[in-house]
Amino acid sequence: MFRILKKEQLAENIWLMDVEAPRIAKHALPGQFLIVRLDAEGERIPLTVCDYDPESGVVQIVFQVVGGETYRMAALEEGDSFHDIVGPLGRPSDLTELSIDELKKMKICFIAGGVGTAPVYCQLKWLKNNGVDVDCIQGARNSSLIILEDEMAAVSNLTVCTDDGSKGIKGNVCVALQQLLDEGREYDRVIAIGPMIMMKFVCQLTKQLGIETVVSMNPVMVDGTGMCGACRLTVGEDVKFACVDGPEFDGHLVNFDEAMKRMTLYKTEEGRLYLQAKEGATHHGGCGTCN
């Protein structure tokens, strides 16, 4: 059992939880994710790591209520427990593989949208703790949906934007990025994490500008091992699986339109059968059979 030590509502339908998970906290790195289950019969819910503390054995998760299982999850209270948590899963951010000297020479801008703020915060905090200074754009539809603003500002040079102009720059994250560039900022890399449609348009802009861009893909996941094929996507000419090959990829190579269409199809049995027939041997990342 994995006990909930802290529960906090960040915005409407968005919750933060600190969970006791010593072995996961000891091995987690920025960019990785977990899969949680409320009970033995529960649906597997993939969640990126927002924060982790190896000394206290705590991992922090942020989630949005979007269906029945996350609704049940939001009803849990401090002292309650998850039945199981698997992780850390996925590949860590490649930033963790670079030397600190290399990182300090890079000009990096993170772009966080919605609950994508949580995995961005994890990377920003890691960089800050290693003495690396970076910019960050945090965007939402309106001010009530801006989460973790103080925490984000403490670990980055933060710029906030909202679609309706209720906080920060009026406009989406692409408008904010263009404004920073017009003001004279220069970037070697943009790292965008948020809704898939947001990442698509960020990549369209940065491709025109010639700025290397990394995205963290969040398609439907089921088992987190590449066996089920739910998170299959096309990156360049290659078939990849977000749970084992990612979740981070070169944003200029990701086929976002295919990924978004596939997410919709995978939600129905008829759609899954269609994908199985269409994708053939590449439908799965490991098992090669469809249950």
CATH of domain 2-89: 2.40.30.10
pLDDT value for 223 = 63
Provide the 3-class DSSP secondary structure of residue 26.
Answer: helix
| pLDDT at 287 exceeding the cut of 80 | no
Domain boundaries, the chain: 2-89, 101-262
Q: Which residue has the higher pLDDT, 118 or 262?
A: 118
Q: Among the listed ranges 67-71, 115-119, 169-173, 190-194, which one has the minimum average pLDDT value?
A: 67-71
pLDDT interval class at 243 (50, 70, 90): confident
| pLDDT at 102 exceeding the cut of 60 | yes
Other Cβ atoms within 10 Å of 3 Cβ, number: 14
Common-topology check for domains 2-89 and 101-262:
no
| pLDDT at 262 exceeding the cut of 90 | no
Q: How does 186-205 read in b/e, with b if 16+ C-beta sit within 10 Å?
A: ebebbbbbbebebbbebbeb
pLDDT value for 32 = 93
Highest mean pLDDT, choosing among 27-41, 197-211, 236-250: 197-211
The class of domain 101-262 in CATH terms is: alpha beta
Contact 173, 93 (CB under 8 A): no
Q: First-to-last CA distance in the chain?
A: 29
pLDDT value for 289 = 36
